[in-house]
Amino acid sequence: MPARVSPPRPILRPVLHCGHFAFLRAIVQGLSARAMWERYLPDAGDYADGHAVHRMTGFVRRELMAAAARAGHFGRAHLLRLNLAPAADGGALPSLETFAATHGLDGFGEAEQQALYDDHYRADLDVQRRRTCLLRRQLLAIYSLEAQLCTPVALGDGCEAWFVDTLAQRLADAGLGTLGALHARMTASPDWWKPLRGIGAGKAQAIRQFMQAHASTLGPLPDWEAGAAPDTGADAPDLPAVVSTLVPLDRLVVPAALTGASGRHRAPQETCLLHATNDLEAIRAWIAAKAPPTTPDHAGRLTYTQLCYRKEAERFALWCVVENQTALSSVGIEDCTRYRDFLLAPPAHWCGPRSIGRWQVGWRPLEGPLSARSCAYALSVLNNLFNFLVKQGYLVGNPWAAVQAPGVVGAGLDTGRALTAALWHVVGRVLDGLPVTLATLRLRVALGLLRQTGIRLAELVQATTGRLEWLALAQPPLAPDEGWWLTVTGKGGRIRRVPVTDDWVNALGDYLVARGLSPDPGLAGDIPLIGSAAEGAPATAGISRNVFHKQVKRFFERCARELDATDPRGAARLRAASTHWLRHTAISEALARGAPVEIVQANAGHVSLATTTRYVQVQDARRARAMRGVWESH
């Protein structure tokens, strides 16, 4: 029997499955926590103590409360908050027979005994009946939400749907992109994990626990300790057919001739600074190199920059293999030019809704033709990739250096893209008139934060309650300056703190309550500041930049309609506005109100003071007034 290993860090994403619902139902009905843990949550590790049960039931409750609140069912959210489990000390009422014997009622009839019993314990019985009624309603609510939220584990699921990014990537590197492929590998040998980089006995044991916990949908694993023979593969689980070759790279089987192992522009392997032996490994090394230093809590999570870079590299690598039939390390200038034109007019089968996850069959690399600006960005990312590969000795040259990006009208910083005080007044009036929903509360909190701080949209969607803290900053001989600060991660992984007001934190507390969470950010857990408003989404679910951008654009369109008749120019500006306009607004207002430019620079996260200085428009305003005065006086 193999030696017991210490448990690794959690390998699973926080996703609810059927076991979570069954466990919560059992606990609220007073069943044994240890037995229910072992029955329903074996994939969560060994049962430890009551604290683990408390954390798990708290996690499940928060997810269900948030889902109910997002759907506008605030009464149901409150119901799910109630702890209706029987008291640990029992506290049960005596039986009718015990009551009769204790009070000398043996000579009374049963109906008389029952009447006296009910009268004696009236208050306790009322509490018990109310608890029973609430418990029945709570169980019905849990069953109802299970039908909406429960995600069954299936063989066709990508490993990234259930495992944390680092583990899913290591499995993908080994060709195990789906749970079906992983199951087949585990069925074939008890030592399936030993050849895999970064997966030791601890992680292998945790993966096995997960697979066994979902054997009803994934199929059983052999009991190697009982002497089961390795599977030859003849009975491997059937995997869903891949209906398109356009799949994420970690699920694409690349022909040997196109892997880049012998690419036309490969530099000698002995002088290469990377361990990569093919193009996909080289891309992963480049993405990994973009990761900033991080804490153990955030280890393995790709940053926004890494996700953007992966998207562009993935598109190009897929185009090379599927459309151009060329290894990435073999492309020349002509190939790169064709790809640029391809992005501006991709075929329909390359396009699909952005909402489809990477592990789903309907995923596609593009949403539609790229704008000139987006195409230029894609080419700049690929230029960065090839520069990296050249500098590390993987390639001998960079063909992207000779490819002209599409012309972009109005390139550069446009500091005039800001909302005036009058337009902001319209925004506030329309916002106050919206119906109170979870999406509206999110909009109020987010717009307030963007206008106060000028943080970027990417920084907003990555911000969490765990990075909001109350600080007392020493300034001798004066008293400490106390207040709320939010830590954000900006471009290049640069971390900075921005001050926020008490009023905004109070508004955030109201929003957290609507999500079914504690109003105290410190007690809500490390969750996204702005969460999903989709029905059935867990409380810990964040929101993508694209989803929030679209909500803001719809809102500004609504504001613009208020001005169409009276101020068409203002309406046009509102229709053009975006979240980035609020960044410009915050910076411009701070400077106009006398904030020192170096203070605004630090708050905005500008690397160069010259960037912040471009927002100073006092001199331009004086010049405009002077010149208008010259001509209007004649």
**Residue 321 exposed, middle or buried by CB count within 10 Å (0-12, 13-18, 19+):** buried
Cα→Cα distances 76→65, 70, 164, Å:
7, 11, 31
- DSSP character at residue 267: P
Domains of the chain: 18-149 (no CATH), 159-226 (no CATH), 256-402 (no CATH), 421-623 (1.10.443.10)
Strand 478-489 vs strand 468-475: parallel, antiparallel, or unpaired?
Answer: antiparallel
Angle, CA of 153, 157 and 159, to the nearest 5°: 100
Spatial separation of the C-alpha atoms in residues 548 and 531, rounded to whole Å: 10
Region class of 175: left (phi > 0), else alpha (psi between -120 and 50), else beta? left
pTM: 0.46
Give 168-171 contacts, CB < 8 A, sequence gap 24+: 168/250, 169/250, 169/284, 170/196, 170/197, 170/198, 170/199, 171/196, 171/199
Q: What is the pLDDT of residue 9?
A: 59
Q: Tokens 């530099």 map to which residue?
A: 267
Q: Let me know the angle formed at the C-alpha of 276 by 272 and 278, rounded to the nearest 5 degrees.
A: 110
Alpha helices in 392-416 (DSSP H): none
Render pLDDT for 146-186 as a digit per residue (tens, 0 to 9): 776 766 777 777 787 788 878 888 888 787 888 888 888 88
Scored b (16 or more CB within 10 A) or e, 322-340 reads: bbbebbbbbbeeebbeebb
Residue 400 DSSP symbol: G
In the chain, DSSP finds a helix count (H) and a strand count (E) of 25, 3
What is the H or E stretch that residue 499 is in?
strand 495-500
Angle ∠(57,59,60) on CA atoms, nearest 5: 65
Rounded distance between C-alpha atoms, residue 385 and residue 399, angstroms: 11
Q: What is the mean pLDDT of each run of 10 residues along the chain (634 residues)?
A: 45 76 81 79 69 79 79 77 67 68 71 71 71 80 75 77 81 82 82 85 87 81 56 38 61 84 93 93 92 54 80 94 93 95 88 73 83 89 96 96 76 61 88 86 89 84 86 72 82 80 88 83 82 76 83 90 88 86 78 71 65 55 59 58
Q: What is the pLDDT of residue 237?
A: 40
Cis peptide before 477 (omega within 30 of 0): yes
Beta bridge partners of 352: none
pLDDT attached to residue 22 = 82
How confident is the model at residue 233, as a pLDDT?
A: 37
User: Which CB contacts under 8 angstroms, 24+ apart, belong to 544-547?
Assistant: 544/461, 545/304, 545/457, 545/458, 545/461, 546/354
Dihedral over Cα of 523, 529, 535, 537: its sign: negative
Alpha helix ranges (H) inside 18-71 = 18-28, 33-40, 50-70
Given CA atoms 41, 45, 50, 54 in this order, what sign does their dihedral have?
A: negative
pLDDT at 294 (0 to 100)? 55
Exposed / middle / buried, residue 543 (Cβ in 10 Å: 0-12, 13-18, 19+): buried
